[in-house]
Amino acid sequence: MAVILGIESSCDDTAAAVLSNGKLLANVVAGQEIHKAWGGVIPELASRAHQENIIPVVAEAIKRAGISNNDIDAIAFTRGPGLLGSLLVGTSFAKGFAHALNKPLIEVNHMQAHILAHFIEDETPRAKPEFPFVCLTVSGGHTQLVLINDPYTFEVLGETQDDAAGEAFDKTAKILGLPYPGGPLIDKHAASGNPERFRFPQANVPDYSFSFSGLKTSVLYFVRDETAKNPDFVKENINDICASVQHSIILHLLKKLRAVISDRNIKCIALAGGVSANSGLRKAITSLGEELQIQVCIPPFAYCTDNAAMIAMSGEFLYRKQQFAPLNTAPLARYPL
Ligand code: KG4
Ligand code: ZN
């Protein structure tokens, strides 16, 4: 029986969670409104906000879990990948807290944690992915197809050659004049739009690679040309534009996922990362699973975008193997799976 405190600070969310033997006791996330005004995350502002938030967020998680500091068996933190300044805040706090409590430290890879979020147990029972499974991880910084043989073995089969899927959503939103992060807003507009109204070209990249930078450029030119003819074009067609761009992103993701499933005879697929909150993508993957008669695992919304429950879950697996980190550990902005 282990009680793990998880700490996440890789980008613009300060988060802490407590897990007891894989069961969630508390999950606290403080977002950072400050970036909205700038149309994207400003690293230095993110670090400062993490510094303000980290102590109250951890204290709140421990309080909500109904435990005391001494009940914690280990402290798991995001070592990377992410923004170095942001990672430094969580890492330094975790090191200080572990030292003060005389408890072991566990370093967690954020991208592994997004995938292992499928193993968190909470009040809503759901099926866990069966090994081996393939996960489509789609976030603001990554787009990867990963083969997971067990909770410790991850093989990246393919990834994006340029922008991540989340960036494709966020950059499109910016072109349309929507605030950051644009993904959820595109999703909302797309719900009442026609996905077949406008066509955007699909990137032609080999194997299981992805590419989204061409899509962003074609949206940019399309909006520029249409707005020259009608200045209200975006306002009048926002739902159809969002639905069409979203459709194009989903088509590209699903094409590669289909190829992996068939080439490797995969029987279980999972979705992870912030973009897995997208309702169109969730629907498309569910239909794909039904069509191919394979298991599909879609994370609950709370574990799609950045959170610390997934860091604690990753920490729980590493705790079982007693894989602890030294107190002189340092964050890594780049940290391969
Ligand atoms: O995993 P995440 O919280 O942070 C990273 O590790 O990057 O992912 C954030 C990304 C952003 O690009 C955001 O726009 C996107 O996830 N996102 C969505 C939706 N919710 C979040 N994209 C499309 N539809 C959504 N509903
Ligand atoms: Zn993330």
Torsion of CA 273, 183, 25, 110, to 10 degrees: 30
**Is 166's C-beta closer than 6 angstroms to any atom of ligand 1?**
yes
Please state, in angstroms and rounded to a whole number, the distance separating the CA atoms of residues 207 and 210: 9
> 109: exposed, middle or buried (C-beta count within 10 Å: 0-12, 13-18, 19+)?
buried
For residue 135, list its beta bridge partners.
146, 270
Q: Which is the closest atom of ligand 1 to the Cα of 277?
A: 26
* pLDDT confidence bin for 127, thresholds 50/70/90: very high
What's the rounded mean pLDDT across residues 9-14?
94
pLDDT at 277: 98
Q: What percent of the chain has pLDDT over 70?
A: 100
The closest residue, in CA terms, to atom 2 on ligand 1 is 274
pLDDT at 140: 92
Q: Which CATH number fits domain 3-123+303-320: 3.40.190.170, 3.90.600.10, 3.30.420.40, 2.10.70.10?
A: 3.30.420.40
* pLDDT confidence bin for 269, thresholds 50/70/90: very high
Give the residue carrying structure tokens 């609950």: 300
Judged against a pLDDT cut of 90, whether residue 97 lies above it is answered with yes
pLDDT at 336: 94
**Is 274's C-beta closer than 6 angstroms to any atom of ligand 1?**
yes
Task: Show the tokens assigned to 71.
Answer: 């009940």
The closest residue, in CA terms, to atom 8 on ligand 1 is 274
Helix 165-175, helix 183-190: angle, nearest 10:
70
- Candidate of 160, 275, 279 to mutate for ligand 1, largest count of ligand atoms within 8 Å of Cβ: 275
* pLDDT confidence bin for 328, thresholds 50/70/90: very high
Judged against a pLDDT cut of 80, whether residue 239 lies above it is answered with yes
**Is 169's C-beta closer than 6 angstroms to any atom of ligand 1?**
yes
Please state, in angstroms and rounded to a whole number, the distance separating the CA atoms of residues 33 and 41: 10
Task: Show the tokens assigned to 164.
Answer: 């991540």
In the 8-state DSSP scheme, what is residue 301?
G
Judged against a pLDDT cut of 90, whether residue 36 lies above it is answered with no
**Is 140's C-beta closer than 6 angstroms to any atom of ligand 1?**
yes
Same fold: 3-123+303-320 with 133-299: yes
Rg over alpha carbons for the chain, rounded to the nearest Å, is 20
Judged against a pLDDT cut of 80, whether residue 106 lies above it is answered with yes
pLDDT at 275: 98
124-142 as b/e: b if 16+ CB within 10 A: eeeeebeeebbbbbbbbbb
What's the rounded mean pLDDT across residues 163-187?
96
Cβ proximity of 187 and 280 under 8 Å: yes
pLDDT at 295: 98
CA distances from 316 to 6, 13, 40, 119, 335 (A): 9, 21, 33, 10, 20
Please state, in angstroms and rounded to a whole number, the distance separating the CA atoms of residues 79 and 5: 14
Q: What percent of the chain has pLDDT over 90?
A: 95
Please state, in angstroms and rounded to a whole number, the distance separating the CA atoms of residues 253 and 211: 10
CA of 21 relative to ligand 2 center, distance in Å: 23
pLDDT at 38: 81
Judged against a pLDDT cut of 80, whether residue 126 lies above it is answered with yes
Cβ proximity of 220 and 174 under 8 Å: no
Sheet with 74-80, strands from edge to edge, namely 23-30, 14-20, 3-8, 74-80, 105-109
pLDDT at 34: 82
- Candidate of 29, 250, 305, 335 to mutate for ligand 1, largest count of ligand atoms within 8 Å of Cβ: 305
Sheet with 143-150, strands from edge to edge, namely 153-159, 143-150, 133-138, 268-272, 295-297
Q: Which is the closest atom of ligand 1 to the Cα of 180?
A: 14
pLDDT at 98: 98
* pLDDT (tens digit per residue) in 68-88: 999 999 999 999 999 999 999
What's the rounded mean pLDDT across residues 146-161?
98
Cβ proximity of 215 and 201 under 8 Å: yes
Judged against a pLDDT cut of 80, whether residue 1 lies above it is answered with no
**Which ligand is the nearest neighbour of the Cα of 139?**
1
Mean pLDDT over each residue of the chain, to the nearest integer: 97
Please state, in angstroms and rounded to a whole number, the distance separating the CA atoms of residues 144 and 111: 9
* pLDDT confidence bin for 41, thresholds 50/70/90: confident
Calculate ∠ Cα 13-74-328, nearest 5°. Answer: 80
Q: Domain limits of the chain?
A: 3-123+303-320, 133-299
Regarding the domain delimited by 133-299, which CATH topology (the fold level of the hierarchy) does it fall under?
Nucleotidyltransferase; domain 5 (3.30.420)
* pLDDT confidence bin for 40, thresholds 50/70/90: confident
The two beta strands, 14-20 and 105-109, are: unpaired
**Is 275's C-beta closer than 6 angstroms to any atom of ligand 1?**
yes
What's the rounded mean pLDDT across residues 136-161?
97
What's the rounded mean pLDDT across residues 249-277?
98
* pLDDT confidence bin for 150, thresholds 50/70/90: very high
CA of 303 relative to ligand 2 center, distance in Å: 10
* pLDDT confidence bin for 39, thresholds 50/70/90: confident
Judged against a pLDDT cut of 80, whether residue 49 lies above it is answered with yes
**Is 187's C-beta closer than 6 angstroms to any atom of ligand 1?**
yes
